[in-house]
Each structure stands twice: as structure tokens, then as C-alpha cells.
Amino acid sequence: MRRTGGNVTGNGEILASGPVLKRNCDMATEVVLPKLGFSMNEGTLAEWLVADGGAVTEGEPLFALESDKSTQEVEAPCSGTLKILKEVGETYPVGTVLGEIS
């Protein structure tokens, strides 16, 4: 399974927001909570912008993420069908798998 949602170091730490890979989802791709700032350790999933089971298009807004400093829309890393794994309104640590696109 491919992980996306930020640049990842060798130890798995996510350094920057945005998808790492941009391709069609020929295999399941994990959608992870990205690190939007250097000091960000967690974020709140504010809204899914695509319904569970809905079609997503690479580069289109996928979900809204709230941190202590801002609310940002996070883009789909690839095109496919979304499977939502985490609920809106909850706070999750950076790197949490929020959904999958296949």
C-alpha cells in the first residue's frame, strides 16, 4: 500500500504537506493526515469534501484539516474511489491513515 500526504523521512516522519505521489490509484493508496507546519503534531478532520465511496480526482480537494493555526483543504493524491476510515470532528496525530483511494 502506498502512503501519501506529505514528504516522509527515513524514520516515517512527515515533513511537509501535500501528496508525495501523484498517479492514478492502480493499487490502494493511504490518505494520511499531513504535517502542515514544523510544530504540528495533530490536526482535526474538519470535513470530507467527497462522500464515502465517491469518485475522487487527483489534485481536487479531498478533505479540510484544522490545525491550531489554520484550516486547509488537502488534495487527492490520485484518482479513484474513496473509502473513509476516520470520522469528521475528531483530532488525530500526524501520519494517521484517514482513508484509502483505490
The SS3 assignment for 79 reads coil
| pTM given for the model | 0.75
C-alpha to C-alpha distance for 80 and 39, rounded to whole angstroms: 32
Q: Give me the pLDDT at residue 9, please.
A: 42
Class of domain 2-101: mainly beta
C-alpha to C-alpha distance for 66 and 35, rounded to whole angstroms: 11
Q: Give me the pLDDT at residue 25, please.
A: 67
pLDDT of 16 strictly over 60: no
Instruction: Give pLDDT tens digits for 27-73.
Output: 899 999 999 888 899 999 999 999 999 999 999 999 999 987 789 99
Q: Cβ distance 88 to 45 under 8 Å?
A: yes
**Residue at 88: amino acid letter:** V
